[in-house]
Copies of this chain bind each other. A is one copy, B any other.
């Protein structure tokens, strides 16, 4: 790139100084409109491209924000992460920033290796996307760079965090089942596994409480072992009429199982999911579920990180972004039964 056009080249051609060119191109005051136009036209003509590195060095900032995703979230069916990255980078661009997507591999996560984008000052701040190990959280906390947690949170830390409102989403969708006449409602998910599964459970529970429905312990159905691996879902002896699943994939598994047992959804059982990912539409019937508001999450995260880059002492706390229910065909109104 040594051969590329600089402000100085433009300045020399026009017999002005590079200061003037800089002002003209950056729409700063102190240049006559006439000269500004001339400079801009010549820049265009010569194919001038701004040198971001020079500005970076001068200002001591990069205008890059790292978006870090642990490797294990890049597997099948996780297009959520690509979508949210897209939303983030679009928002960043509106503020004159760029996203650098960094996929943290499992080994580096275990060995607590910070990403090289940190060590080489490639970024002014970091958005951490997706649950990461406790130790890594601590490690990254020890480092003085603006950071945001997105889509997960850690109880022991006071990092500014943007998450989806799991509690409220599960609460709302359980309300919806109750409105459709269901009172025997099970929750499917290992409630000790992740904070989002737990919070969704609590939202479900609150809905029951509000409707004076007693929580039946046998209606809390496990879906995965302590290491997160899905296990075969065991149905209780006394069956509910509806299932609130902690995510669409588990709802999909459940529907498959119910069908194999000869049941029909939603005629015999209503089933709802969470996330509105591919499993929601691939299931037959398609699932009523809670959609995460990706746009809003990205927008908020970007707002926070830029706020912190500009003023490292700013605090935003933990913000929850509400999702919305997507109504499809997996719920039946049984009120008239």
Interface residues of A (CB under 8 A from B): 1-2, 4, 49-54, 56-57, 60-62, 71, 74-79, 81-83, 85-86, 89-90, 93, 98-103, 105, 116-122, 124, 256, 277-278, 281-282, 284
Contacts and interface: CB of A to CB of B under 8 A. Distances in A.
A61 B1 contact: yes
A66 to B, nearest CB: 10
B76 A281 contact: yes
Given A51-B120, A53-B62, 20 more contacts: A1-B124, A49-B118, A50-B119, A50-B120, A50-B121, A52-B62, A52-B122, A53-B53, A53-B57, A53-B121, A57-B57, A74-B83, A74-B86, A77-B79, A78-B79, A85-B103, A89-B102, A93-B116, A98-B117, A98-B122
A277 B78 CA distance: 12
**Oligomeric state, in copies:** 2
23 contacts: A1-B61, A1-B124, A2-B60, A4-B60, A50-B120, A53-B57, A74-B79, A74-B83, A74-B86, A75-B79, A76-B79, A78-B82, A79-B79, A82-B82, A86-B103, A89-B102, A93-B116, A98-B116, A99-B101, A101-B101, A256-B284, A278-B278, A282-B282
A78 to B, nearest CB: 6
Given A52-B120, A61-B1, A89 B76 contact: no
B49 A57 contact: no
B103 A4 contact: no
Given A2-B60, A57-B53, A74-B83, A90 B117 contact: no
A184 to B, nearest CB: 29
Contacts of A49: 118-121
A42 to B, nearest CB: 16
Contacts of A82: 74, 78-79, 81-82
Contacts of A121: 1, 4, 49-53
A6 to B, nearest CB: 10
A105 to B, nearest CB: 7
Contacts of A85: 101, 103
A277 to B, nearest CB: 7
